[in-house]
């Protein structure tokens, strides 16, 4: 049966896409919100020159996204 939860659908689509979501700053930000960077949040933040407050905000957005879509 097709996924009906939009958050799960987005997460599944992005997580299984073969491209490297870390290359582009904007893509990395979106991926961080939807999928999360698991064990490499700080590495991605350094790569894109995000401040500690940027990283904290991204993680906060990821948690909110996860909660909103019951992931």
pLDDT in tens, 43-55: 999 999 999 999 9
Structure tokens at 20: 């490297």
**Conformation bin of residue 24: beta by default, left when phi > 0, alpha when psi is -120 to 50:** beta
Look at the chain and report how many structural domains it folds into: 1
* Residue numbers of the domain that contains 25: 6-13+20-68
Q: What is the C-alpha to C-alpha distance for residues 40 and 44, in angstroms, rounded to an integer?
A: 6
All residues at 6 or more sequence positions from 23 whose CB lies less than 8 Å from its CB, including other chains: none
In a domain, 46, yes or no: yes
In a domain, 1, yes or no: no
What pLDDT sits at residue 2?
86
Percent of the chain clearing pLDDT 70 (strictly above): 100
In a domain, 38, yes or no: yes
Cβ proximity of 11 and 68 under 8 Å: no
In a domain, 39, yes or no: yes
Confidence check: pLDDT of 24 > 90? yes
In a domain, 56, yes or no: yes
Threshold 0.85, pTM exceeds: yes
């Amino acid at each position: 049966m097709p996924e009906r939860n939009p958050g799960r659908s987005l997460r599944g689509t992005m997580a299984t896409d073969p491209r490297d979501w870390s290359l582009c700053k904007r893509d990395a930000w979106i991926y961080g919100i939807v999928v999360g960077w698991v064990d490499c949040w700080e590495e991605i933040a350094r790569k894109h020159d995000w401040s500690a407050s940027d990283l904290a905000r991204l993680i906060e957005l990821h948690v909110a996204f996860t909660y909103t879509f019951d992931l």
